[in-house]
Chain A
Amino acid sequence: MTTARPAAGTPEWVTPAFVTLILGVGVLSALKLVGKLDLVGAIVPFALPAVVAALVPSAHGWKVRGPLAIMAGMFALFLAHTWPGATDAVQEGAAPAEPKHLLSWLLALPLGGAVAVLFLPRQAPRLLKATTLILMLVTLAACAPLLSVPMGREFHFNEDVVWIERFGIHYHVALDGISLWLVILTTFIVPIAAYASFGSIEKRVKDWCFALLLLEGALIGAFVAMDLFLFYVFWELMLIPMFVMIGVWGGSNRIKSAIKFFLYTMAGSVVMLAAILYLVYAYQKVTGTPSFDYFELQRVMTPRRVQFWLFCGFALSFFIKVPMFPVHTWLPDAHTEAPTGGSVILAAVMLKMGTYGYLRFCMGLFPEACAEYAATLAGVAVLGGIVYGALCAWRQDDVKRLVAYSSVAHLGYVMLGLFAATQSSIEGAVLQMVNHGISTGALFLLVGVIYDRRHTRMLDDFGGLAKVMPVYATLFIIATLASVGLPGTNGFVGEFLVITGTFVSNKLGHVNGIQAVGAAIGVILGALYMLTAVQKMFFGPITRPENEHLEDVNGREIVALAPLVVAIFLIGFFPNVFLSRMHDAVARVSSDYQSRIERSPAPKYYEGPIRVVPRKSEAPKPVAPHTADTEVK
């Protein structure tokens, strides 16, 4: 496809490569603005890989050159096709046909793949790794059609099949603008984590591949499940592979951490199961038939006392997963002990399960209770999450623990955005979920890189690494700045939206200003602890002789990190690509939420016996054995 240009083997080769990539993206967007994308759009995605491949110095072979070039082309294609307005042209005509069973394929590929991997020979690690990676990349490619459909307020790719008729359990999957990005985040991060981990995982490769694929399937499933039972199944299913990942391939204290992780999460989810059961029971008492369907259960109006307990059951489970102060204590242990690949998936995707769950299920099913406790919980999120998490992170000596505590702080923003429940704060929260996945995922990968070389993660053991490992230092600083929220990186957009949304929110009582200020202080604290760590690790004199001859990032690590770095800037510069697709779905969530609360700021509960209100227009049409549309008293 291209000819390799012999390049000077300077160690700073990566910088021109990225400059070119970003320039290419810039040129592309500039051309788009002029309105010549159609002409150029066909050329740039092919020209860009050529340029990138050419710029990669010959020190790296085609194993690095090829993937980087392909990735560059993919990102260019992605941007060209998701640019706001790119789908407008389609919208004017007939609505494009949604590929049938797409979500089921997204589930079947990793889950079926996991089973298939079991039948591959244990003695062939290369075959196992290749199969796993190919399955994951195919899953990622299968996400492409998700972007071709204009995301409105409604759910897409709806698939509703009766599973267990007697209990009203359906296999119901659907996708809206919010879960769209989380599904894509999952399918984007998991192959990266897998590819990076294949360098360091040597024992029991088969089990590792099995766990990875199972985990990916469960994660995707939980994001698209629209039946509470199905959601619960995936919610539990994702526990097992992560438990095994921490327990088998983790550090010295792995077993304790794995058990702690499992029991914390299991305790939460069992309470949630009880709440689900009661909710369904309440629905059945009124309508006569049970249903676990999200859209059906959304219609249940419960009085205050009942709703309080149901909310507690769901929220506790989600808060443990997020994790929110004071149930966050499993997270640092789990992260410290988990292998790099496990940490990346845990931080980047699995924690989002908690925030997504709160957004979808707590806010969707119990808006009054959410509104009533929003102010208090936002206080917890700011003090216990953003500020306390940041202060804890500041005090850590272990880089991985530091990044883990920074997760507590970052997810504090997400939760704050959800509690504030304004259009911009929810959009910011969803975007911040994706951002955190990318930047923290990158940070965990980078920490893994240095751990593989030095087998220590203590800040004191490093110093002056920038001289020895310049590329590594560059990448680390980019990820750090994204995590801190420097304008131009993805973190800025999310945090900015959350904080502005919090300022104008009327859900947080009259302290919303203070909450927003607290969150803003958290940004400063974030810069403090992250930059302190960077300074200790990379600058100053080289204090340890072991650090003088460290190898810089190798080809595998570059290929794993490059897409994350590109994504950091992609979201930082073009957030609209992401926000425009989730806008209508967020508008639906916040207007539903608002309309249930009716009177603000004090929430007004529905009083009287439990009843079921009529179905909303956006909800997908249910399959046969649901109740009638009419209001049932």
Chain B
Amino acid sequence: MLHVAFALSPLLVVALGACLLMMAEAFSNVKAGLAIGTAITFAAGLSFSAAVWWMGPANLEGLDVLAPWLVVDRFTVFFDAVLCLGGVLASLLAGGYLPEHKLDRGEFYSLLLFATFGAMMLAGSGDLLTVFLGLETMSIGAYAMTAFRRASPRSAEGALKYFLLGSFAAAILLYGFALLYGATGHTDLAGIGAAVKAGGRSPMIVIALVLVLVGLLFKVSAVPFHMCTPDAYEGAPTPGTTYMAIVVKAGGFAMMLRVLLTCFGDAGSMSWSAGWPPAVAWVAVLTMTVANLIAGRQESVKRMLAYSSIAHAGYILVALVATMRSPQQATASVLFYLVTYTVSTAGAFGCLILCGSRGKEAVSYEDLAGIGRRHPAAALAFGLFLFSLAGVPPTAGFFGKWFIFRAAMESGLYWLTLIAFVNSVIGAYYYLRVLVYMYMREPAAGAPVAVPMRSGYVTAALLVSALLVIALGISPNKSLDVAIEAAKVFAAGAGT
């Protein structure tokens, strides 16, 4: 029993922290400690995941009681850690942003914690039921976060769009699950995987697969299911945007990897030329290209970062396609990419938060004009994160891309890799534009300028992200090993 509790400790810590903080928020007037409390909870979740990792989930006994609902393996633990890291960064950013913009209501932190709990559950789910539960727990938190700026019409618009489309997507996913159950008679992923392997591509399974894919691709906001993403990202308070860009997306990819590789990972029935890989490959091409092209035309930096996060989902999808040929390498590349993406995106949004203050928020490119001269430290940090997102060495983002491209090339996906390469050049253009505005333009006379805020929380989040971006960029050895170790779960390829 102790082993089981230990295996679930990251989840439990976050759930417990969420309940405690919610109580504290309800019965106390002190709001100041909430952000730090949330960050500490996430940090505790992170440390517990690390502890489970070092202990090795394989060495823990009695985990069968969880089957098939929850699977605790290195993959799950890795994701627990990444999601908690994202949570730490998002809650620190919230700690600076919310009071500054007079949005200081404690629900935000509870939402963060519960949504992350859902995402962690998603990463560890071994059954369609827990997949759906985790997904909804995560999504509802995200919807609420989008609507958090109650006074802002944009926030309401984004939230409504996000909620409606998200519900449709969830319904479609659920429909797919139902068909899957009907076709195979199983709700546990491993059982479905075995049935698909034995049964081959029956029409029912193909239809179910298509429906499931739509639901999954919506959650990682791939083109053409991205329509609500920019609105939601723009409407949400920036820490909420950060959270959606990193944690919700990571959760989505955890679910996608788990479901696709466990249920449909069999190369026999889901062959290279038919099945999900070609479909996902096309979606990846579309996602990268469309998102990069639209991102270049944005006038708002926040919206640009939203499109950039869609483009990054496209790169990850490239690696997802490659999992069909080299499961371990490609999965590891997804995992590593998510880490680098988490720290660089959190950093970029954090810098955007740092560059603005109440009433003088930094949103458009024009707002950032001249920041490089007026606030060199903020601009330098922003530059670092943008270079990481653009994939310029020696930053973390470069190794993330590198690992993905390498995995794709080793799987023989030459054209897909080439398109991804071309896209990374297009992507460089709009990241560069931010730098151009920060360093090379001055605000027009009389134009409102963004005034940076001062916040220890935001600075702390940026420091953590910057350190990780540089550390992963200079010495990715250890973390690569960890990612590859985590990806061993799928090394065998087909459903285990």
Which listed residue, B393, B428, B432, B481, touches A166 by the CB 8 Å rule? B481
- The answer to whether B425 touches A263 (Cβ under 8 A) is yes
The contact string, 1 if C-beta is below 8 Å from chain B, for chain A 184-222, is 000000000000000000001011000000000000000
Q: From DSSP, what is the main secondary structure of chain A's interface residues? A: helix
Question: Are A247 and B392 in contact (CB-based, < 8 A)?
Answer: no
| B422 cross-chain contacts in A, Cβ below 8 A | 270
> How far apart sit A621 and B373, CA to CA, in the bound complex (Å)?
49
CA distance A118 to B435 in the complex (A): 18
- The answer to whether B373 and A277 have CB atoms under 8 Å apart is no
Q: Which of A26-34, A68-76, A251-259, A353-361 contacts B (4 or more CB under 8 A)?
A: A251-259
Kindly list chain A residues whose C-beta atoms are within 8 Å of the C-beta of B372.
207, 248
Complex interface: chain B residues within 8 A of A239 (CB): 392
Q: Nearest Cβ in chain B — how far from A363, in angstroms?
A: 24
Whether B480 pairs with A166 at a CB distance below 8 angstroms is yes
Complex alpha-carbon distance, A237 and B392, angstroms: 8
Q: A164-B477, A263-B429 are in contact. Are A236 and B440 (CB under 8 A)?
A: no
Decide yes or no whether B358 CB sits under 8 A from chain A: no
Q: Top 5 nearest A-B pairs by Cβ distance?
A: A233-B393, A247-B440, A270-B421, A270-B425, A274-B421
Q: How many A-B contacts at CB < 8 Å in the complex?
A: 77
Q: Is A12 an interface residue (CB 8 A)?
A: no
User: Which residues of A, 226-263, contact B by the 8 Å Cβ criterion?
Assistant: 232-233, 236-237, 239-240, 243-244, 247-248, 254-255, 258-259, 262-263
A-B contact pairs, 21 of them (CB 8 A): A118-B380, A122-B376, A164-B480, A166-B480, A166-B484, A206-B376, A233-B394, A243-B432, A248-B372, A248-B439, A248-B440, A258-B436, A259-B429, A259-B436, A263-B425, A270-B424, A271-B421, A273-B405, A274-B417, A274-B421, A281-B406
Taken together as a complex, chains A and B put the C-alpha atoms of A419 and B387 apart, in Å, by 36
A255 and B441 within 8 A (CB): yes
Decide if A618 is an interface residue (CB 8 Å cutoff). no
**Roughly how many angstroms separate A204 CA and B441 CA in the complex, as a whole number?**
14
Residues of A within 8 A of B441 (CB): 255
Does B160 touch A at the CB level, under 8 Å?
no
CA distance A48 to B441 in the complex (A): 50
Q: Are B393 and A244 closer than 8 Å at their CB atoms?
A: no
Query: Taking the complex as formed, is B464 at the interface, i.e. its CB lies under 8 A from any CB of chain A?
Result: no
The answer to the question of A278 belonging to the interface, with a C-beta cut-off of 8 Å to chain B, is yes
Identify 14 new A-B residue pairs, CB closer than 8 A, beyond the known A165-B477, A166-B484, A277-B409: A164-B475, A164-B476, A167-B406, A236-B392, A237-B394, A239-B392, A244-B435, A247-B440, A262-B432, A266-B425, A267-B425, A270-B421, A274-B409, A277-B417
In the bound complex, CA of A112 to CA of B424 (Å): 29
Q: Is B418 an interface residue, CB under 8 A from the partner?
A: yes
CB distance from A215 to the nearest CB of B (A): 15
Kindly state the separation between the CA atoms of A163 and B393 in the bound complex, as whole angstroms.
14
Complex-state Cα separation, A244 to B372, whole angstroms: 11
In the complex, what residues of B have CB within 8 A of residue A163's CB?
A: 475
Taking a contact as CB atoms under 8 Å apart, the answer to whether A237 and B393 are in contact is yes
- Contact residues in B for A244 (Cβ distance below 8 Å): 435, 439
The residue on B at minimum CB distance from A309 is B414
Q: Does B410 contact A (CB under 8 A)?
A: yes
**Nearest-CB distance from A407 to chain B (Å)?**
25
User: When A244-B439, A247-B439, A255-B440 are in contact, do A263 and B428 touch as well, CB less than 8 Å?
Assistant: yes
| Residues of B near any A CB (own CB < 8 A) | 372-373, 376, 380, 387, 392-394, 405-406, 409-410, 417-418, 421-422, 424-425, 428-429, 432, 435-436, 439-441, 475-477, 480-481, 484
Residues of A within 8 A of B405 (CB): 273-274, 277
A49 CB, min distance to chain B CBs, angstroms: 41
Instruction: Give the complex CA separation of A239 and B481 in angstroms.
Output: 31
- Using A258-B436, A262-B432, A263-B428 as known contacts, say yes or no to A240 and B392 having CB atoms under 8 A apart: yes
A204 to B410, CA, bound (A): 46
How distant is B419 from chain A, measured CB to nearest CB, in Å?
11
Please give me the residue from chain B that is nearest to A206 by CB atom: B376
CA of A122 to CA of B476, assembled, Å = 33
Closest to A203 in B: B373
Q: Which residues from A are CB-within-8-Å of B387? A: 240
A278 to chain B, nearest CB (A): 6
**A122-B376, A263-B425 as given contacts; A232 in contact with B393, CB under 8 Å:** yes
Q: Report B167 CB to chain A, min CB distance, Å.
A: 40
Total contacting residues, chain A, CB less than 8 A: 35
Nearest CB of chain B from residue A34's CB, rounded to whole Å: 54
Q: How far is the CA of A271 from the CA of B373 in the complex (A)?
A: 34
A266 to B428, CA, bound (A): 8
Q: How far is the CA of A248 from the CA of B476 in the complex (A)?
A: 33
Contact pick for B428, options A262, A278, A281, CB 8 Å: A262
- Name the residue on B nearest A285 (C-beta): B410
Residue pair A204, B373 in contact (C-beta under 8 Å): yes
Contacts of A165 in B (CB 8 A): 477
Cα(A244)–Cα(B376), bound, Å = 14
A322 CA to B414 CA in the complex, in Å? 28
| B contact residues around A118 at 8 Å (CB) | 380
**Cα(A277)–Cα(B410), bound, Å:** 9
CA distance A526 to B418 in the complex (A): 41
B406 touches A277 (CB 8 A): yes
Asked if A274 contacts B440 (CB within 8 A), the reply is no
Q: In the complex, A167→B313 CA distance in Å?
A: 24
List B contacts of A277 (CB < 8 A).
405-406, 409, 417
CB distance from B371 to the nearest CB of A (A): 13
- A237 CA / B481 CA spacing, docked (Å): 26
A167 vs B333: C-alpha distance in the bound complex, in angstroms?
13
Quote the shortest CB–CB distance from B65 to chain A (angstroms): 36
Tell me the A113-171 residues at the B interface (CB within 8 Å): 118, 122, 163-167
CA distance A207 to B380 in the complex (A): 10
Residues on B with C-beta less than 8 A from A271 are 421
Interface centre among B405, B417, B425, B429 (most CB of A within 10 A): B425
Residue of B nearest to A244 (CB): B439
The answer to whether A281 and B409 have CB atoms under 8 Å apart is yes
Q: In the complex the two chains form, what is the Cα distance from A122 to B375 in whole Å? A: 12
Interface residues of A in 82-106 (CB under 8 A from B): none
Query: Using an 8 Å CB-CB cutoff, how does the interface string of A264-296 with B read, 1 for contact, 0 for none?
Result: 001100110110011001000000000000000
Give the residues in chain A near B477, CB-CB below 8 Å.
164-166
Is A281 in contact with B410, judged by CB distance below 8 angstroms?
Answer: yes
Say how far B302's CB is from chain A's closest CB, in angstroms.
Answer: 22
Are B436 and A247 closer than 8 Å at their CB atoms? Answer: yes
Say yes or no: B409 contacts A278, CB within 8 Å: yes
CA distance A163 to B410 in the complex (A): 21
CB distance from B372 to the nearest CB of A (A): 8
**What's the Cα separation between A237 and B480 when bound, in Å?**
23
Which residue on chain B has the smallest CB distance to residue A284? B410
Complex contacts, A167 vs chain B, CB 8 Å: 406
CA distance A86 to B428 in the complex (A): 51
Across the interface, which residues of B come within 8 angstroms of A258, CB to CB?
A: 436, 440
Interfacial chain B residues near A267, Cβ < 8 Å: 425
- Among B376, B421, B484, point to the contact of A273 (Cβ < 8 A): B421
State A254–B440 Cα separation when bound (angstroms): 9
